[in-house]
Chains A and B, each alone.
Chain A
């Protein structure tokens, strides 16, 4: 018998020995705050909560409006001293109108090498969803967010968040991701570890600096 049939047969035998309770999927009680629950305060409050949670987990935050975005991006990159910037090829070009240095475009068809990513000073991307309650940015591999490697290897990640991408909590975020089978990356603050005496320390293998620009 193949391992597959044998394991399935063992499960069937286990269920015969110890019949499981009858609990249909639809009957599972979900009394927690659901995605449809909209009693989470107005959108401005959510954005304030997002900023609070981002800062609490050591992300840097800037705010601007659509007109000021290019200047804010340029200022962030200048403050960081970025001269070689990775960008996904689907990123809106206007965001980088004020940035004078090298841009390394990356896409699935024309990917940068790992060495090129390692030699870059930073990366800029958009995001798919931002979760206020947990301070989480979610990337879904769209053309303005790019391959997973580009937000991982460079030591600095600048992420641009639009207001309509901000949702309240995890259930709302998961609802927005329904049906996505592209790779998903959830990012909450810079790379960190709790492995030394169970205290959170920032800065291990991923980007050691995470900066977020929130666009009104």
Chain B
């Protein structure tokens, strides 16, 4: 259980979480507040609806092509479970292999340390600019801002990251950070921000992609330093892999003199053979393709081919804190495909920015609060209807709904420990328990519910509730107008002969109500 102590890093068990004040794991406002802004943006909702509908259909089609999809998911899950259980061995093996093949391995406890290591490595090359491949790890650490503060310009080369960077915007999706932008908006950003763009640019996606090609080409051909993340690292051989579409990744991995890769410590697979599982699961789950256009794999330094200096930064930043929770640690098994975002009814409507963290959607709702400590992302475990679509879509079978419920409990317990309970919710539950424990009280309470008809007389439903306790709960929910007669009264009038009229024994304890935020 985590507690809030200002000025001190949170801990889960003996292990510190990701520190505040650096990187992008925490939002500025709670999910409900941020989501309210997003929901009033009809353009955003239309863009997200379109994009997620498209990708859901593509994914369903290519997943259906494989007769052994469920077996692959189970293998993926077990591979991840096994790897997490043997993480120290595999990390050390990876380090040995990378070092033996000419790479240099660095370890970073948290985002600040990772940023400092990378900044120092770039400085040592004498370069004041870097090209970047889209990477969640460096988004998480806020590396671009750290480099900028050190006078180093970072150029994002993934098309969606470029759109976000040129638009002075924030990423809103794991795979397609500019998913919230449609083609017309992208055209406007390009016209406004690209110095060298053709003024007759249309909003055809192929034309927009062509503009990005021209804009970045000279940068690629002259870049001295590249920074990447990694989709996987093979402990057995020290091989790193990047899965991409556009070729910007290949440009960064191949043309510069120096390559710096920043990777979370959980991204390992034990052996080369295991890629046969993940190279099937990942592309089909993420872009809905049988295979993404380009996958690059490299092992240390290859004389005469590609960067002759290779640095690998292995970063913790709260991952070990996640590992110390036996009910939540499966969040580390995530392969960042984003299938759970695309199927989530909450994400589809609220969009990625509402989650605050760079990890949005269902996986973000379980990963971000665990990386930072639940109290720093306390509203995220509630950003779900618990419908379970994310669990079904997850290629490594992470039981996201169960972890959400677990984190809600952790949050509630943390608040109780701080004596902020009994709050309104606990008081209401206690009252309900007393009422439901006695049939007479229960019947009278139900009759009392008819008074609610007054509230719903205009629309036939009850919108916001007038009571202070219920207002928060009712703000996002419409209740049906109560009927003029309770079921019990109806039963009693229609079945007077059928004795006994006394109802079946009532439960002595109310069932807990899920989905409610205290």
- Whole-angstrom distance between the alpha carbons of A54 and B130 in the complex? 34
Q: B55 in the interface, Cβ–Cβ < 8 Å?
A: yes
Q: Are A175 and B273 in contact (CB under 8 A)?
A: yes
Measured CB to CB, the closest approach of chain A to B297, in angstroms, equals: 4
Q: Chain A residues with Cβ under 8 A from B295's Cβ?
A: 184-186
Q: Are B107 and A204 in contact (CB under 8 A)?
A: no
Interface residues on B, range: 35 or more
Q: Chain A residues with Cβ under 8 A from B109's Cβ?
A: 3, 6-7
Q: B193 in the interface, Cβ–Cβ < 8 Å?
A: no
Interface residues of B in 262-297 (CB under 8 A from A): 265, 270-273, 275-277, 279-280, 287, 289-297
Q: A38 in the interface, Cβ–Cβ < 8 Å?
A: no
Q: Are B265 and A193 in contact (CB under 8 A)?
A: no
Q: Chain B residues with Cβ under 8 A from A170's Cβ?
A: 276, 279-280, 291
- Whole-angstrom distance between the alpha carbons of A12 and B321 in the complex? 11
Q: Chain A residues with Cβ under 8 A from B179's Cβ?
A: 198
11 contacts across the A-B interface (CB closer than 8 A):
A11-B320, A14-B329, A19-B326, A21-B81, A30-B71, A108-B303, A114-B221, A147-B305, A194-B287, A203-B213, A205-B251
Measured CB to CB, the closest approach of chain A to B208, in angstroms, equals: 6
- Whole-angstrom distance between the alpha carbons of A11 and B109 in the complex? 12
Q: B250 in the interface, Cβ–Cβ < 8 Å?
A: yes
Interface residues of A in 135-160 (CB under 8 A from B): 135-136, 141, 147-149, 152-153
> Interface majority SS on A: helix, strand, loop or mixed?
loop
Question: With A108-B305, A182-B302, A193-B245 known to touch, is A7 a contact of B14 (CB < 8 Å)?
Answer: no
Known contacts A181-B238, A193-B209, A196-B209; 16 further A-B pairs (Cβ under 8 A): A6-B109, A10-B14, A30-B71, A148-B253, A152-B255, A153-B221, A173-B276, A181-B101, A181-B239, A191-B293, A193-B246, A194-B176, A194-B245, A197-B205, A204-B159, A206-B250
Q: Are B246 and A7 in contact (CB under 8 A)?
A: no
Q: Chain A residues with Cβ under 8 A from B55's Cβ?
A: 194, 198
Q: Are A183 and B296 in contact (CB under 8 A)?
A: yes
The residue in chain B whose Cβ has the minimal distance to the Cβ of A207 is B247
What are the interface flags for B151-193 relative to A under an 8 Å C-beta threshold, 1 for contact and 0 otherwise?
0000001111001000000000001101100110010000000
Closest 8 CB pairs of A and B: A206-B247, A108-B304, A20-B85, A14-B324, A18-B326, A205-B247, A204-B246, A10-B320
Interface residues of B in 293-333 (CB under 8 A from A): 293-300, 302-306, 314, 316, 320-321, 323-326, 329
